[in-house]
Chain A
Amino acid sequence: MSNEPERHPNAIHRHRALDAIWATGPGLQRLAAVNHNVIGKRFMLTALVFFFIGGVLAMLIRTQLASAQSPFLDPGVYAQVFTMHGTIMMFLFAIPFFEGMAIYLLPKMLGARDLAFPRMSAYGFWCYLFGGGIVVAALVGGVAPDSGWFMYTPLSSRLYTPGINADVWLLGITFVEISAMTAAVEILVTVLKLRAPGMSLDRMPIFAWYMLVVAGMMLIGFPPLILGSILLEAERAFGLPFFDPTRGGDPLLWQHLFWLFGHPEVYIIFLPAAGVLSTLVPVFAGTPLAGYRVVVAAIVSMAFLSFGLWVHHMYAAGIPHVALSFFSAASALVAVPTAVQIFAWLGTLAHGRPRFSVPMLHVFGFFTVFVIGGLTGVMLAMVPFDWQAHDTHFVVAHLHYVLVGGFVFPMMAAAYYWLPHLTGRQPVHHLSKIAFWMVFAGFNLTFFLMHLTGLRGMPRRVHSYPADAGWEALNYLSSVGSFVMAMGFALVALDLLLIARFGRAFRRNPWKAGTLEWAMPTPPTAYGFAALPAIDRRADTLDPDRIGPELAAGRGYLGGTRNGWMETLGVDMATGRPDQVVVLPRPTHLPLATALATGGFFLALLFKVYWAAPLFAAVVLALFLRWTPQTGLTADLGPLPIGRGEEAPHHAEAEAPPSQWAMVFTLAADGTLYVSLLFGAFFLWLSAPNWPPEQLGGTAYPAQALGMLGLLLAAGMGRRAVRKAAGAVPALTAGALGYAAALAGIAWMAWTALPDPTAHAAAASMAAVLAYAGLHAGIGLVLALYGIHRVRRGFVSPRRTLDLRIGRLWHDYTAVAGGVALAFPSLLATLARHGAVP
């Protein structure tokens, strides 16, 4: 092993050397791909396949509704069709599509060679593919979910949905959400740590700011949904009555958990699209984005506000006035940052000299459609109006104006804009305009009319309507519109294919953009940049035509190769000073194998082969441990030259490497889930009927004390281990013993102080909280043992304590969360005893 990079005499030689290191192999090696080019494209293509499936379902819906009493679909099938349409569009198309786009684009825009955790993105992709596959297989098998895309209980509970339809949704979507969580952590860490030197936060291209905020929102938004799905599945499978009002549960708990995710979700989908607009509009206006800082402030505000309005989907659920006022205020406020961005775009256009182009046509489509969607949204935000329009086709129309306007049009703009990057070919305008106008006209015809049917009272989610209601003509026209739109989409697809195949070739930077992704060969090489640039100004006002050749000639950072490592630079978050050389893992089949085992786990739950589920979980764990030998160092290297006369340590020796941040963010998501669980229990005490339960249970002081002492010991020893570094084995052993004691305490507690969890939601909540603590203590135990293993293998030294520091984060969190969990049953029992007033 050598610290000195190998220099390359010329660009061709350099390309060969880098390509040999970074490229994905042929044949079966493709299944081992971890490169962001490959994974990003796979995400996007898969998402488009799901868009197609969701679109076909939409056509079935419109065919059914074209006439009043159509015998085409019976009510049961119709329910499956609209549920699956909504589910596929939201979970399997929109989110994965922008994830794929971010995976493909972010490293390139930031001046990095790949994302921070390439194997995790590959794992996320496979989880997405398999989870989506399960859901679609259920559709083909006629057992698809049918309780609407938000799966309200009790409709989705065992009593009303006895088949596996609802389980498919709960388990399949949770499986898919693994990919959302991995993408969120991946994007956060990449944007914060893996940038070109000199790219301080205020020099980041605006798209990176958008994705940073979106990833943060996903980190907080998805856990409540995942929690809700787990709880509902636990109710369906094991009878824990979280949502059953006869046993102290409350269907409203589901609605809270779902919309706590569901409304931010709308902004999670909109913001990446807005990021695309903020990138494209300045390029075509020929002037930098107006008010960069104001836009950053707007998206941060929007992210927060979007979490404060979930209850506006529950106006009809009878919630007191003040509480309603909180939510309607936030609903109105969130329009302000949206307006700020729209004015920034209009201002940019007004400042510059806009050029006409196909992407701009789609930007125009966005403006028109989205603004109408915003106006109807303001109408719905008025509480009295919402009571009127609630659950009618007015809502369906509004939602599509927002989603198609706010996502689909911008994504088509993005497709036309970046397709040259993906393929190296440029549009030739024959079909593009016709295709756009067909989509645009078809869309407005379809959905504008739905406002009218909605106002005339046509409810959503009905498969037929009375012929004398006067809705038929409008519905018929709406269906005609939807077929025009479908043909438009087909033309867009054909057009994109033709461009990819026969488009005009170009040398570099066809749109005269100022971002780094154009400073590389197109289509891109696996390593992207032959050398990393130094950034001295805002990274959307750069000159790719000048930078590109410089980098190809190896003038920049990391222009040589070293030990066959896949290297990119890590920087200080705020200033962009390089602070480490991040060495990325090589292609491997492990992500695929791990995702298959994860799929086994979910299928075991789905088909109720419960004994197999723990087995698969163990296999997943074992496989994840197999990921680790490739990472880390077994000797201290000291500073490595990185070019331009500078040096930086290997990430394993760095102070704040990406994996440490990944653990911080993972725990943030985990903590959100936990807090949602605790609040959920508190909510049940507050508002569910049939409280207090007959049996309270809740206290077993010796067990609680044992558990807490064990957790404290484990956390203390985790800290000590970091100080001892290579001599950490005794501390880690003591930590492992601490966890053993904690697990014993938790089990004892569950055994003695826990009433039958199927009898009442209080006991079920206690069981859930204790299970959470047990799971965390179990993982903590594994991490302590893993630490011992790493020390023994020589991966740890005073300079290299990363493994132990990651462990320490987990142990600290588990001590806090577990302590709360052990006290929780007593607390809930006390509350239940006292608050038994009304």
Chain B
Amino acid sequence: MSGRPASRPVFLPILAAFTIWAVGFLALYGLQATGCRLGWQDAELLPGVTHLRLALCLLLAGLAAAVVAVVLRLRRLPAGFARTVGLAVSLAAAASTLFSFSGVFWLSLC
């Protein structure tokens, strides 16, 4: 779009981490449902570790990495509103990512 104002972005720092959380939410939920539908929970890679569980754990690891990357990037911003609020929101998103999704490691999948 033309005419993006030249000022420093404010919304990106505030929204980035939780957007990752939201997309991750849909992706994990979708992957879990698809995997169950296609029977990926039946094939064991290692004892007790199915394809589906592995895929979900990898996805979660990717999400967590992305959220952490956002936090690290925000810490380099100059002090101010966008940094303070952005960091607070992103830390909340990081905690939420771990807390909401860690069930993929140990709960029954289908």
Which chain A residues numbered 538 to 592 have a C-beta less than 8 Å away from chain B?
572-575, 577, 579
| B93 at interface by CB-CB < 8 Å | yes
| A323 at interface by CB-CB < 8 Å | yes
| Chain A residue total in the interface (Cβ 8 A) | 47
Residue of B nearest to A575 (CB): B7
Residues of B within 8 A of A391 (CB): none
Which chain A residues numbered 651 to 687 have a C-beta less than 8 Å away from chain B?
654-656, 660, 664, 679, 682-683, 685-687
Q: Is there an interface contact between A579 and B5, defined as CB atoms closer than 8 Å?
A: yes
Q: Is there an interface contact between A655 and B36, defined as CB atoms closer than 8 Å?
A: no
Residues of A within 8 A of B104 (CB): 322
| A294 at interface by CB-CB < 8 Å | yes
Q: Is there an interface contact between B110 and A682, defined as CB atoms closer than 8 Å?
A: no
**Contacts A201-B81, A301-B89 given; does A837 touch B100 at CB 8 Å:** no
Which chain A residues numbered 617 to 664 have a C-beta less than 8 Å away from chain B?
654-656, 660, 664
Q: Is there an interface contact between B103 and A304, defined as CB atoms closer than 8 Å?
A: no
Q: Is there an interface contact between A304 and B93, defined as CB atoms closer than 8 Å?
A: yes
Residue of A nearest to B80 (CB): A202
**Which of B10, B81, B95 sits near A293, CB closer than 8 Å?**
B81
The stretch among A21-29, A324-332, A604-612 that forms the contact with chain B is A324-332
| CA–CA, A683 and B93, complex, Å | 27
**Contacts A293-B88, A301-B18, A664-B1 given; does A326 touch B30 at CB 8 Å:** no
| CA–CA, A297 and B96, complex, Å | 14
| CA–CA, A5 and B8, complex, Å | 33
| A838 at interface by CB-CB < 8 Å | yes
**Which of B1, B84, B96, B107 sits near A322, CB closer than 8 Å?**
B107
Q: How many A-B pairs with Cβ below 8 Å?
A: 125
**Which of B22, B84, B100 sits near A329, CB closer than 8 Å?**
B100
| Chain B residue total in the interface (Cβ 8 A) | 47
Q: Is there an interface contact between A297 and B88, defined as CB atoms closer than 8 Å?
A: yes
| B46 at interface by CB-CB < 8 Å | no
Residues of B within 8 A of A326 (CB): 25, 28-29, 100-101, 103
Q: Is there an interface contact between B10 and A323, defined as CB atoms closer than 8 Å?
A: no
Q: Is there an interface contact between B32 and A201, defined as CB atoms closer than 8 Å?
A: no
**Which of B34, B85, B108 sits near A321, CB closer than 8 Å?**
B108
| A422 at interface by CB-CB < 8 Å | no
Min CB distance, A557 to chain B, in Å? 19
Which chain B residues numbered 1 to 59 have a C-beta less than 8 Å away from chain A?
1-5, 7-10, 14-15, 18-19, 21-22, 25-26, 28-30, 32-34, 36-39, 56
Residues of B within 8 A of A466 (CB): none
| Contact indicator per residue, chain A 812-838, by CB within 8 Å of chain B (1) or not (0) | 000000000000000000000001011
Residues of A within 8 A of B26 (CB): 679
Residue of A nearest to B110 (CB): A320
Residue of B nearest to A331 (CB): B100
Q: Is there an interface contact between B5 and A323, defined as CB atoms closer than 8 Å?
A: no
| CA–CA, A682 and B93, complex, Å | 27
Q: Is there an interface contact between A297 and B92, defined as CB atoms closer than 8 Å?
A: yes
Q: Is there an interface contact between B103 and A325, defined as CB atoms closer than 8 Å?
A: yes
Which chain A residues numbered 326 to 354 have a C-beta less than 8 Å away from chain B?
326, 329-330, 333, 336-337
| A312 at interface by CB-CB < 8 Å | no
Residue of B nearest to A336 (CB): B92
Q: Is there an interface contact between A573 and B18, defined as CB atoms closer than 8 Å?
A: no
Q: Is there an interface contact between A809 and B1, defined as CB atoms closer than 8 Å?
A: yes
| CA–CA, A682 and B38, complex, Å | 13
Q: Is there an interface contact between A322 and B22, defined as CB atoms closer than 8 Å?
A: no
| CA–CA, A300 and B81, complex, Å | 14
Min CB distance, A769 to chain B, in Å? 18
Residues of B within 8 A of A575 (CB): 5, 7
Q: Is there an interface contact between B37 and A686, defined as CB atoms closer than 8 Å?
A: yes
Q: Is there an interface contact between B108 and A304, defined as CB atoms closer than 8 Å?
A: no
| CA–CA, A654 and B36, complex, Å | 53
Residues of A within 8 A of B85 (CB): 293, 296-297, 300
Q: Which of B36, B104, B108 has the most CB of A within 10 A?
A: B36
Q: Which of A200, A574, A687, A837 has the most CB of B within 10 A?
A: A574
Residues of A within 8 A of B68 (CB): none
| A305 at interface by CB-CB < 8 Å | yes
Min CB distance, A257 to chain B, in Å? 14
| CA–CA, A664 and B2, complex, Å | 12
Q: Is there an interface contact between A322 and B109, defined as CB atoms closer than 8 Å?
A: yes
Residues of A within 8 A of B99 (CB): 329, 333
Q: Is there an interface contact between B81 and A202, defined as CB atoms closer than 8 Å?
A: yes
Min CB distance, A113 to chain B, in Å? 22
| CA–CA, A439 and B9, complex, Å | 47
| CA–CA, A92 and B62, complex, Å | 43
Residues of A within 8 A of B3 (CB): 654-656, 660
| A119 at interface by CB-CB < 8 Å | no
Residues of B within 8 A of A325 (CB): 100, 103, 107
| CA–CA, A573 and B28, complex, Å | 34
| A735 at interface by CB-CB < 8 Å | no
Which chain A residues numbered 129 to 171 have a C-beta less than 8 Å away from chain B?
none
| CA–CA, A574 and B93, complex, Å | 23
**Which of B7, B28, B84 sits near A572, CB closer than 8 Å?**
B7
Which chain B residues numbered 55 to 110 have a C-beta less than 8 Å away from chain A?
56, 80-81, 84-85, 88-89, 92-93, 95-96, 99-101, 103-104, 107-110
Q: Is there an interface contact between A300 and B15, defined as CB atoms closer than 8 Å?
A: yes
Residues of B within 8 A of A416 (CB): none
Residue of A nearest to B52 (CB): A322
| A198 at interface by CB-CB < 8 Å | no
Residue of A nearest to B25 (CB): A308
| A307 at interface by CB-CB < 8 Å | yes
Min CB distance, B56 to chain A, in Å? 8
**Contacts A574-B9, A837-B38 given; does A308 touch B22 at CB 8 Å:** yes
| A805 at interface by CB-CB < 8 Å | yes
Residues of B within 8 A of A655 (CB): 2-3, 5
| CA–CA, A577 and B5, complex, Å | 10
| CA–CA, A686 and B30, complex, Å | 9
**Contacts A297-B85, A322-B107 given; does A686 touch B33 at CB 8 Å:** yes
| CA–CA, A333 and B18, complex, Å | 13
Residues of A within 8 A of B92 (CB): 297, 301, 336-337
**Which of B56, B84, B89, B96 sits near A333, CB closer than 8 Å?**
B96
Residue of B nearest to A320 (CB): B110
Min CB distance, A835 to chain B, in Å? 6
**Contacts A308-B22, A686-B37, A835-B37 given; does A300 touch B14 at CB 8 Å:** yes
Min CB distance, B3 to chain A, in Å? 3
Residue of A nearest to B95 (CB): A333
**Contacts A304-B21, A687-B33, A837-B38 given; does A321 touch B103 at CB 8 Å:** yes
Q: Is there an interface contact between A837 and B7, defined as CB atoms closer than 8 Å?
A: no
Min CB distance, B98 to chain A, in Å? 10
Q: Is there an interface contact between A320 and B36, defined as CB atoms closer than 8 Å?
A: yes
Q: Is there an interface contact between A656 and B4, defined as CB atoms closer than 8 Å?
A: yes
Min CB distance, B92 to chain A, in Å? 4
Min CB distance, B16 to chain A, in Å? 11
Residues of B within 8 A of A805 (CB): 1-2
Residues of B within 8 A of A333 (CB): 95-96, 99-100
Residues of B within 8 A of A835 (CB): 37-38
Q: Is there an interface contact between A323 and B29, defined as CB atoms closer than 8 Å?
A: yes
Residues of A within 8 A of B96 (CB): 301, 305, 329-330, 333
| CA–CA, A809 and B38, complex, Å | 39
| CA–CA, A687 and B33, complex, Å | 8
Min CB distance, A363 to chain B, in Å? 25
Min CB distance, A166 to chain B, in Å? 29
Residues of B within 8 A of A838 (CB): 37, 39
Min CB distance, A512 to chain B, in Å? 27
Residue of A nearest to B33 (CB): A686
| CA–CA, A406 and B76, complex, Å | 38
Min CB distance, A437 to chain B, in Å? 39
Top 8 nearest A-B pairs by Cβ distance?
A655-B3, A325-B103, A297-B88, A202-B81, A329-B100, A656-B3, A304-B18, A321-B107
5 CB contacts below 8 A, A to B, read A293-B81, A300-B18, A679-B26, A679-B30, A686-B33
> Can you name 5 extra interface pairs (CB under 8 A) apart from A297-B92, A333-B99, A573-B5?
A329-B100, A330-B96, A574-B10, A722-B2, A805-B1
